[in-house]
Amino acid sequence: MYKSIGRYEKLELIPYQETGDSPTVKTYTQWSLFEPYIKKILDDPENSIATPGETHEDYSMDKNMVYVDASKYLVNIDRGNRYKLSKSAIESKVYLKRKIDYLHYISLNKILYLDISNSGWYKIVFDTRLDNPKIVYVPQHIIVNINNESDVVLEVIVRNNTYPNILKTRFIEINVGKYSRVNVYLKIDSRGDGPPHYLSLETSLNKGSRMNVYTLLTPSSMNHARYSTRLKGENSEFFSRNILFGYSKGKIDLINQVIHSNKDTISKIYSTGLSLDRACLIDRGISRVEEQAIHSKTMYNSEIIVLDEEACGYSSPSLEITTGIVDDARHSVKVEKPLADQVFYLMTRGLPQLDALKLITYGLMTKDVSVENKILYNKIKNDIMNLLNNEVFPRIHTFY
């Protein structure tokens, strides 16, 4: 069926997702907000898309930094690390079952491969600097390979708060070598009234490796984030700490998937969210322990506080265990308003109601943010506090 038509025309035949999200909700992601961009791309695919296609070394940037804009990758990395552009992965990954994934891969020019051999702090910034009013779509893609026995901090900043008329898809793949230690801080800057955004993070861990991912996610009109992690090597460990902020009528749909493919592997997902000002947060996903992954442990916990009557929150963590020998498997979910007894207790200690609510929300959003690297720990805490002070606390005053 597909061979008789052009690759962009196929978009009209491919669904946004394969199946419904639940018996009562067809789709949590509001795909209708993506549709105007799809129509503009179909009208003029040659002139409506911008994508990075070349690299330039830029020594004015910080060391070990990659800056991705709408046309090029700017790179400044130390010797011993390598990078290259390639098309090799694009054709093999064209996906015909999800519309946005398919659009992303057929629109890419080249993918940047970054091979990290030296331990240290690395930074990747996704942005869209352009002055062409015809552009309505920018796909960007990076693959990071971290060598064996490395100790790496990877700071990733995804900017979706500029150029309000442009759809952006950002795909990040991280492959962690044997016995490596990796801390990833993924910060997605969006606006509640900004354009829809699509983020894909794929990670794979080899023998004895450990990876911690800390995500700070703010809303756009529709922010769809899809995380997929495979624990390939025995004794590998994965921890994901997701911090979601919903305000300004924005919406976030975060989907987590972890697959245990080897024995003695450990995973923990912990998500917390604040929803107010007519926003909506969705945190859902699955942790799957395959038959050969004996003596593994998995945990998936989700908590969302809803701070006003017109805001909403949904959470649906699940487990799929196909082995009969698992050491630990559990999940939990809370979607609630701040507990009255907590607020009352703090008020009896002299705090006004608003200050009590602020303390409760700060405690939730910073809970279990345990980072060994003190510089990274302080950066994450400061970013959380800035969002609370600038976006959340001022809005609480309007509801209490």
SS3 102: helix
Number of domains in the chain: 1
* Any domain includes 55: yes
324: CB partners within 8 A, 6+ apart: none
- In whole angstroms, what is the distance from residue 278 CA to residue 334 CA? 19
Per-run averaged pLDDT (10 residues), the chain, 400 residues: 59 85 82 94 91 91 93 91 81 75 91 95 92 89 96 94 83 97 95 88 98 95 96 97 94 97 97 94 96 97 91 94 95 87 88 86 86 90 91 74
Q: DSSP string of 319-330?
A: EEE--S-EEEEE
* Any domain includes 376: no
* Any domain includes 38: yes
* Any domain includes 359: no
> Whole-structure pTM over 0.85, yes or no?
yes
- What pLDDT digit, counting tens, does each position of 206-238 carry? 999 999 999 999 999 999 999 999 999 999 999
**pLDDT score of 135:** 92
- In whole angstroms, what is the distance from residue 175 CA to residue 211 CA? 10
* Any domain includes 292: yes
- What pLDDT digit, counting tens, does each position of 138-159 carry? 999 999 999 999 999 999 999 8
**pLDDT score of 396:** 79
Phi, psi of 399 (to 5 degrees): -115, -15
319: CB partners within 8 A, 6+ apart: 286, 287, 288, 289, 298, 300, 329, 330, 331
Structural domain including 145 reads 2-338
**pLDDT score of 2:** 34
**pLDDT score of 213:** 97
* Any domain includes 58: yes
Phi, psi of 388 (to 5 degrees): -65, -45
* Any domain includes 48: yes
Alpha-carbon torsion 256, 277, 155, 128, what sign? Answer: positive
